[in-house]
Amino acid sequence: MDAKSSYREAAVRGASPVGLVICLYEQAIADLRGALIALEKNDIEGRTRKINHALVVIGQLQGTLDLQRGGQVATSLDRFYNLIRSGLVEAQLKQSATILRRQISDLVLLYEAWVEVERATSAPLPETSRTTQVPPPSGPSAPPFADWNA
């Protein structure tokens, strides 16, 4: 396993649900950038492989949406993912760098929004709103404990 894969695996293991979404966006964007490079090199197999993988990643993102409880946000994301998927199919058929760049740009915009959500939800509480710290259990039979106050 190379260093990049090891880093990504470690990041996924410790990620929050929003962090996992961010990882998927990063992967989709990287796949499409790879597809763009392959397109410019006239590497049909590489382009196809990268676009297909991006489609799988987008499918994973779309498959995790809870359309029943997610309200308008889930519905909008579902529509967005459908547009991205159809754009990628069109980019593949037309061998269009312009369409690929547009898809990358659209994904980057949402990626940045998810990064902001992660920052907002992981920001430490102000000192006045923290509750009393409870020490973790200790001893050999103690369950694993995450220090949420750290």
Q: Is residue 145 part of a domain?
A: no
Q: Is residue 141 part of a domain?
A: no
Q: Residue holding tokens 């490079």?
A: 37
Q: Is residue 128 part of a domain?
A: no
Q: Is residue 2 part of a domain?
A: no
pLDDT at 146: 36
Q: Is residue 92 part of a domain?
A: yes
- pLDDT above 70 for 123: no
Check residue 128 and report its DSSP letter.
G
| pLDDT interval class at 41 (50, 70, 90) | very high
Instruction: Using only the alpha carbons of the chain, give its radius of gyration.
Output: 20
In one letter, which amino acid is 24?
A: L
Q: Is residue 12 a contact partner of residue 84, using CB atoms and an 8 Å limit?
A: no
Q: Is residue 127 part of a domain?
A: no
Distance, in Å, from the CA atom of 134 to the CA atom of 121, rounded to the nearest integer, reads 22
- Which of 17 and 58 is assigned the larger pLDDT? 58
In one letter, which amino acid is 109?
A: L
| pLDDT interval class at 122 (50, 70, 90) | confident
- pLDDT above 50 for 81: yes
The percent of residues in the chain predicted with pLDDT above 90, rounded, is: 69
Q: What are residue 139's phi and psi, to 5 degrees?
A: 110, 170
- Structural domains in the chain (count): 1
Q: Is residue 132 part of a domain?
A: no
CATH, residue 34: 1.20.120.340
Q: Is residue 139 part of a domain?
A: no
- pLDDT above 50 for 121: yes
Q: Which long-range contacts (CB under 8 A, 24 or more apart) does 51-57 make?
A: 51/88, 51/91, 51/92, 53/27, 54/27, 54/28, 54/88, 55/85, 55/88, 55/89, 57/24, 57/27, 57/28, 57/31
Segments forming the whole domain that contains residue 39? 11-121
